[in-house]
A and B are shown apart, each in its own frame.
Chain A
Amino acid sequence: MATQTQVMPGRTTALSTSSQSIKRQKVLQIILLYLLSIGLSLLFIFPFFWTVSTSLKALDELFTFPPTWLPAVPQWQNYPAVLNRVPFLLWTWNSIYIVALNTLGTVLSASLVAYSFARFRYRWREAIFIITLGTMMLPDQVTMIPQYVLFHKLGWINTHLPLWLPSWFGGGAFAIFLIRQFIMSLPRELDEAALIDGANYWRIFWQILMPLCKPVMATIAVITFIGTWNDFQRPLIYLQLRELFTLAVGLNYFNTLPEMGGEPMQALLMAASVMMIIPVIVLFFVAQRYFVQGIVLSGIKG
């Protein structure tokens, strides 16, 4: 904990000697805080470093003791080797297009629904909204089995439909809630002026509110992207065919693959992990602001 000693301006001359020692103490404190932050950063970064380092190691280097920090000769061919061992590119494509459809569906349909909740008055609106929020509290375990049965009856097991189609029906409570809060913070006069000018609700939504909602849309898009990319349990349940896998289940499959001729696969597994992690991290760096904002909003207003 930092001691926040503050020197009152009027008394500095009288206490010049002690204020100097306070200043020194403060500098020392800042140095300690930096050291602590850097130490913790190393702790958080090290596993990533180790993953990348392992992914570039040769077979005989994997199990040497003590382990080497860096590969003697970086084995870049480990990365293309992953593509030969498992249909990694196909899985990547599956992930990308499911993520894209999911994100688009969530942003579009959630914003329509949010517009309705934020700007229209009708019977049962509050009740439906409370039910909507209630769905956020319910663990997936309850709805998972009946949803599976439903998709089974529709013949959609071993298709990608269960993984993206539901998002086109409102996009989920979290997205609706966040966009609704955002629309409610926009002045209602905007809508009313447009209405008087003869715009219909659709135009108000599309041409006035949507452009203003870009930040919250970006937030929802980033959160949905990362959530879908990382999602494991749903693709695990719905996809049994290797060529339909997303990266998450594909990576797990790769891990459980029997070793070929007893040859260790850790380097390839780590290479595959690196390839799966990188897009998320890149996206996060590009859209960090929106991402952090969304989480913080959900925490404060939820």
Chain B
Amino acid sequence: MAAITESSAISYGGAKEPGLLGRLAGAKTALQANEAIWGYILLTPWIVGLLIFWIGPILASAYFSVLEYDVLSPSKFIGLENYIRAFTGDKQFWPSFGRTFYYSIVVVPLGLFGSLALAILLNQKLKATNFFRTIFFLPHLTPAVALALLWVWLLHPTVGPVNTALGWIGIDGPGWLTSKDWAIPALILISLWSGVGGNGMLIFLAGLQGVPQELYEAAEIDGAGSWSKFRNVTLPMISPTLLFNLILGIIGALKVFTLAFVATNGGPSFATWFYALHIYRQSFEYFRMGYGSALAWIFVIVLMAFTYIQLTLSRRWVYYAGEKD
């Protein structure tokens, strides 16, 4: 984070000694002390918010995860039993993890590819670019609940337009959200439709627009074709954007909740019972707050591991133009 440059203009009257409070705030003169104290005063709401809504809950959550706790009755310390139960005794733990991975491993690369392709299309400087950008973006704005409801109807096994269209080309469409095998592919389809034109596409578009035109001109003089320009100029130049979207994409996909909750409620027969649904039901339907916290912590560790792996691997493929070799 860029540090603020020392301002030299305000040095008059700085000879006075700062008070105790000012010295605690790191000030050397009375004026600096005044500034520091005001800084803290303005920061107060966030300090309180940070403690009540972030740091406190993080500590509490870690503590709950070693308790048996249902809010109403007194808690009981049970050590690592919640974690042991998750890994060995919970019938839906591994399957829900597996489903979440299956979903993510398809949605993330396809979503990235789709967003990038749309961004490239928008970057061709057609006259109606703004219009198309808005259209591609609309699904992303749709509230997830409404999105789920309208796709349940679009994917209706008999009278849905999707299966009707498949019927025209002689394909007997599957039961989609009502079928055990097709429910996750259906959710993947919905996510892609609603997500490829969203934030990821806009960020890619900004990245593409930031590639210096001279690089393309130089590549053309060297006789590069369009694929070679894409591979050797565009991709390296937008690789930081790619990494950003990849990390956000993975986190977003692993957290999938509302879509599955509304469209299928985890069914049919647990086919779309994702990990976030599992945490939700354990915590807020069965009120197993201790167990839910343990599940949440396992989730955080998996997410952090993923992000760490991504950042480590990224050293090999992400190119930062401002960085010296």
Task: State whether A121 touches B146 (Cβ < 8 A).
Answer: no
**Chain A residues near B54 (CB-CB < 8 A):** 135, 138, 143
In chain B between 59 and 74, which residues have their CB closer than 8 angstroms to a CB of chain A? 60-61, 64, 71
Task: State whether B150 touches A273 (Cβ < 8 A).
Answer: yes
Task: State whether A1 touches B230 (Cβ < 8 A).
Answer: yes
Task: State whether B251 touches A149 (Cβ < 8 A).
Answer: no
**Chain A residues near B121 (CB-CB < 8 A):** 33, 36-37, 40
Residue of B nearest to A134 (CB): B54
CB distance from B126 to the nearest CB of A (A): 6
- Alpha-carbon separation in the docked complex, A1 to B132 (Å): 17
- Alpha-carbon separation in the docked complex, A141 to B255 (Å): 9
Task: State whether B149 touches A273 (Cβ < 8 A).
Answer: yes
Choose, from A2-10, A13-21, A71-79, A212-220, the stretch at the interface. A2-10
Q: Please count how many residues in chain A sit with their CB below 8 Å of the partner chain's CB atoms.
A: 107
Task: State whether B193 touches A201 (Cβ < 8 A).
Answer: no
Per-residue contact bits, chain A 94-124, to B (CB 8 Å; 1 contact, 0 not): 0000000000000001001101111111111
CB distance from B195 to the nearest CB of A (A): 11
What is the number of contacts between chain A and chain B, taking CB atoms within 8 Å? 301
Residue of A nearest to B9 (CB): A192
Instruction: Give B contacts to A, CB under 8 Å.
Output: 1-5, 7, 9-10, 24-27, 32, 35-40, 42-43, 45-50, 52-58, 60-61, 64, 71, 118, 120-121, 124, 126, 128, 132-139, 141-146, 149-151, 153-154, 158-161, 164, 167, 193, 197, 199, 202-203, 205-207, 210, 216-217, 220, 225-227, 229-230, 241, 244-245, 251, 255, 257-258, 261-262, 276, 279-280, 283-284, 289, 292-293, 295-297, 299-300, 303, 307
Instruction: Give A contacts to B, CB under 8 Å.
Output: 1-4, 6, 30, 33-34, 36-37, 40-41, 43-48, 50-51, 54, 62-67, 109, 112-113, 115-126, 128-133, 135, 137-150, 152, 166, 168-170, 176, 184, 188-189, 192, 195-196, 201, 205, 226, 229-230, 232-233, 236-237, 247-249, 251-252, 255, 266, 269-270, 273, 276-277, 280-281, 284-285, 288, 292, 295-296, 299-300, 302
Known interface pairs A1-B226, A269-B149, A276-B146; 8 further A-B residue pairs with C-beta atoms within 8 A, sorted by A's residue number: A131-B55, A146-B64, A166-B53, A192-B9, A195-B10, A201-B42, A255-B149, A280-B141
Q: Write 19 A-B pairs (CB below 8 A) sorted by A numbering.
A: A37-B132, A40-B118, A45-B135, A45-B138, A65-B158, A67-B164, A119-B4, A119-B39, A122-B37, A142-B57, A146-B60, A170-B45, A188-B5, A201-B38, A230-B143, A230-B144, A247-B143, A276-B143, A277-B142
